[in-house]
Amino acid sequence: MTQIIDGKALAQKMQSKLAQKVQDLKDKEGIVPGLAVILVGEDPASHVYVRNKERSALQAGFKSEVVRVPDSISQAELIALIDNYNKDCSIHGILVQLPLPAHIDDNAIILAIDPQKDVDGFHPMNTGKLWSGQPVMLPCTPAGIMEMFREYEIDLEGKNTLIIGRSNIVGKPMAQLLLNQNATVTLTHSRTKHLPELARQADVLIVAIGKGHFVTKDFVKEGAVVIDVGMNRDDNGKLIGDVKYDDVAEVASYITPVPGGVGPMTITMLLEQTYQAALRSVSK
């Protein structure tokens, strides 16, 4: 029988524990974890993501600041805004919602964030630390997937794991987190040959490509664990994953749904990492 990995339930459980930890930090140290989110332009999906992050942050007792700036903002103005938050002691996490308008260089913006406040884990200092085995701030989506493995006691040691998609925010950091758990990792992408055959050798398959219902049961070994990161809209505007859920559920041992799988865990890890950053600020 296929077991559903319920990301929504796990996220709720973790966020209510987090709310308690936040309350304790307030009571003992007088510190409220602060998260600043900067949203540039009018991308409707980004506005929805940012609203969800703000709501969850407030529910967990955080200080939440959301700055919405127009597309016309210059790179220098955006960097100046980030720098104010770098210096602001009441803010422990800074997130700039991607994608950014074409005239702004994503890399320059990521570099401008203080690595200690880089709760998305995208700063080269943090990606470097992750690859050298001293992780601090982790990219939230792969970190949330690792929490799912822990919660469902899915052992990764020595397992054949295969990731489809090599983005900086999902595929690449996912590979390192799996390696840290002694999994054998194959990282695949759009130029990979014989992908379904390769994928069928995986005990754990993680899909992050952004193509609705791309992965069918032809890609999945009987009993494999399948994690679907994709968030796509079908022709009717319905949210669907990269995995054809009903088809793949016939063979998978565990599977994440979309919605209610990886998405809620991403927000949870963002809050958890902001809390951890606030905690580290106490011991400074």
The answer to whether 226 touches 205, Cβ cutoff 8 Å, is yes
Contacts of residues 236-240 at CB distance under 8 Å and 24 or more positions apart, as own/partner, are: 240/212, 240/213
Q: Shortest CA distance to 45 belongs to which of 191, 175, 190, 231?
A: 231
Which of these is catalytic: 6, 53, 172, 217? 53
What residues between 253 and 282 interact with ligand NAP by CB under 6 A?
262-263, 266
CA atoms of 217 and 220, how far apart (whole Å): 5
Q: Is 138 in the site for ligand NAP (CB under 6 A)?
A: no
Cα separation, 35 vs 119, in Å, equals: 9
- The residue sitting closest to ligand NAP, measured at its beta carbon, is 167
Nearer to ligand NAP, 25 or 57 (CB): 57
Rounded Cα–Cα distance for residues 135 and 11 (Å)? 22
The answer to the question of whether 167 is labelled as a binding residue is: yes
Known catalytic membership, residue 129: no
Site string for ligand NAP, 161-190 (x = CB under 6 A): ---xxxx-xxx----------------xxx
Q: How far apart are CA 254 and CA 223, in angstroms?
A: 8
Rounded to 5 degrees, φ, ψ at 94 are: -125, 130
- Residues 23-62 binding ligand NAP (CB under 6 A) are none
166 known member of a binding site: yes
Please name every residue paired with 238 in a beta bridge, in sequence order, or none if there are none. Answer: none
Whose tokens are 């992908």? That residue is 195
Q: Does 209 bind ligand NAP (CB under 6 A)?
A: yes
Does residue 15 carry a catalytic annotation? no
Which span sits near ligand NAP by CB under 6 A: 20-28, 102-110, 202-210, 276-284? 202-210
# residues near ligand NAP by CB under 6 A: 25
Please tell me which residue in 6, 15, 97, 176 is annotated as part of the active site.
Answer: 97
Q: Is the peptide bond before 44 cis (omega within 30 degrees of 0)?
A: no
Q: Is 199 a residue that touches ligand NAP (CB under 6 A)?
A: no
Give CA–CA dist 225/65, Å, rounded.
Answer: 38
Closest C-alpha among 47, 80, 92, 94 to residue 281 = 92
Cβ–Cβ under 8 Å, residues 243 and 230: yes
Whole-angstrom Cα distance, residue 79 to residue 75?
Answer: 6
232-251 footprint of ligand NAP as x/- string (CB under 6 A): x-------------------
Q: Which stretch binds ligand NAP (CB under 6 A): 176-184, 215-223, 227-235, 245-253?
A: 227-235
The verdict on 210 binding ligand NAP (CB under 6 A) reads yes
Check 6, 120, 203, 242 and give the catalytic one.
Answer: 120
Is residue 97 part of the annotated active site? The answer reads yes
Q: How many angstroms separate the CA atoms of 37 and 216, rounded?
A: 36
Establish whether 281 is an annotated binding residue.
Answer: no
Q: How far is the CB of 59 from ligand NAP (least distance, A)?
A: 18
Task: Name residues contacting ligand NAP, limited to 140-159 (CB under 6 A).
Answer: 141
Provide the annotated binding site for NADP(+). 165-167
Provide the annotated binding site. 165-167
Residues forming contacts to ligand NAP in the complex (CB under 6 A) are: 141, 164-167, 169-171, 188-192, 195, 208-211, 229-232, 262-263, 266
Residues with a known catalytic role: 53, 97, 120
